[in-house]
Structure 1
Amino acid sequence: MSAKKESDGSVSFVDGDGKVVSHVAAPGAWDAKVIEKAGIPANPTDTRVDVTSKGKNKAIITVSVDAAWAKSSARQFPITIDPTYASGSINASFDAWVQSDSSTDHSTDAELRAGTFNGGATVARSYISFPISSMWNKQIVSASLSLYESWSWSCTPSLVEVYRAGGASSSTRWANQPAVKRPGFGSDPPEGESDHAQEVRPGLA
């Protein structure tokens, strides 16, 4: 096994037959400043990757950032350098929402709903299915779910909770929701405003 630096800054691990058996994506780096409404780094920068062979099946991968960028008075610490090992993404294969005052199918709607707009008299929940066969027999170190908030009845931040649940279908209604398994995951509270990008991060709800 040997480590090979690619032209895009990533690193491939290659076996004796020249086959890539594993991969580290090009690392990213950023300082502590965040675009508040989007929850993303405000100052990302490129990194430099160097690979030094240390014999059979051994190599040192060094990741660094430009010294001038790191020493700039505009930097907000801490600085994060994040090499991601074998990352991947999965798009939803099905989604639907149910609401306490609705008995119709909402699996073809262009939106998802969650929470209440009237103090709990009406409550909505959404179900999202993902094809996860590509993740079987993998060690998952971290994961996140990103959703886009288009409207909120209140500007007061509130928690969005995510739980593992049974499969939903076009016949899913408020009266026959899939079983939910706890504990779940929590999000940083959305700001309650239109056009707000929301990332749901793992954590106990």
Structure 2
Amino acid sequence: MTMWESTPTAGQQKIASLARSAPAARDGSAPAATDGSASTAWEPGLNAKQAAMATKVDGSTLKVVPDQKILRGKDTVFPVFIDPWMIGGRIAWSRVYKKFQDTAYWNKNELARVGYENESNGLSRSLYRMDAAGFAGKNVIRGTFSTQLEWSWSCEARPVQLWSTGAISSSTTWRNQPAWNQHLATVNTAKGWGPNCPAGQTSPWG
């Protein structure tokens, strides 16, 4: 079991400063953090300080003991997230893009994209391979999938779907997509266009 705080990256600090001082660019050149996501309740950001938490069994009760160095640290940035759940992080990812149907975007150092981009006439889907090794032999009662939405084309909410698919690889392209097996959930949101809908966590799927 782990916990983490919210020290931002330099890129996140720059984005926050620009978002307060100017509207997002309409030509798609709005600033975007490429050096890691901010800390959320589901995972730590790139620069976040982390610590393992001790556990104690008291009769039939499992007690989780937070790390005091993080809770009381002079350079700790709140909020601090205490995470008693098991997390399966991203192992790999890819994007498929309808405008360039034979181009592979395997593990590219860029933000994931989903949906139709009106001004560029582009259509993207992003796919993830998640680490589920820690769940082997476990009875999973409930799971969530959560993302940080950095940029939208407007503040008007649009539906985004979550699907279970077949395996992805470095040869995954628009023409060579995995099977789309099951629709799991949909969120209706828009964030990252400007002060009226700043970048932030999407409502979790699941």
Q: Any idea what SS the aligned residue of 1:159 has?
A: strand
Distance 1:142 1:190 in 2: 26
Answering whether residue 77 of structure 2 is matched by residue 109 of structure 1, we say: no
Contact 2:166–2:179 (Cα < 8 Å) also in 1: yes
Distance 2:119 2:166 in 1: 27
Quote the offset at 1:117 in angstroms: 1.3
Deviations 1:66-112 (A, max 9, x none): xxxxxxxxxxxxxxxxxx9x621121000010110113221223211
Aligned pairs for 1:113-124 (under 5 A) are 113-118=113-118, 121-124=121-124
Aligned to 2:130: 130
Distance 1:200 1:143 in 2: 9
Answering whether residue 57 of structure 2 is matched by residue 12 of structure 1, we say: yes
**Distance change >3 Å, CA 191–CA 178, structure 1 → 2:** same
Deviations 1:21-49 (A, max 9, x none): x95657xxxxxxxxxxxxxxxxx9xxxxx
Aligned pairs for 1:149-168 (under 5 A) are 149-168=149-168
Aligned to 1:184: 184
Coordinate RMSD, CA, aligned: 3.4
Aligned to 2:87: 89
Letter in 1 for 2:200: H
Higher relative contact order (CA 8 A, sep 6+): 2
**Distance change >3 Å, CA 120–CA 186, structure 1 → 2:** farther
Aligned pair count? Answer: 135
Quote the offset at 1:183 in angstroms: 2.8
Q: Any idea what SS the aligned residue of 2:104 has?
A: coil
Distance 2:119 2:180 in 1: 23
Quote the offset at 1:14 in angstroms: 7.4
**Unaligned ranges ≥5, structure 2:** 1-52, 66-78
My pick for the range that moved more, 191-200 or 132-141, is 191-200
Contact 2:148–2:200 (Cα < 8 Å) also in 1: yes
Higher helix proportion: 2
Letter in 2 for 1:12: V
Q: Percent identity?
A: 20
**Distance change >3 Å, CA 118–CA 99, structure 1 → 2:** same
**Unaligned ranges ≥5, structure 1:** 1-7, 16-21, 27-43, 45-83
Distance 1:118 1:94 in 2: 28
**Distance change >3 Å, CA 25–CA 181, structure 1 → 2:** farther
**Distance change >3 Å, CA 120–CA 164, structure 1 → 2:** farther
**Distance change >3 Å, CA 13–CA 119, structure 1 → 2:** farther
**Distance change >3 Å, CA 24–CA 137, structure 1 → 2:** farther
Letter in 1 for 2:91: S
Quote the offset at 1:146 in angstroms: 1.8
Aligned to 2:32: none
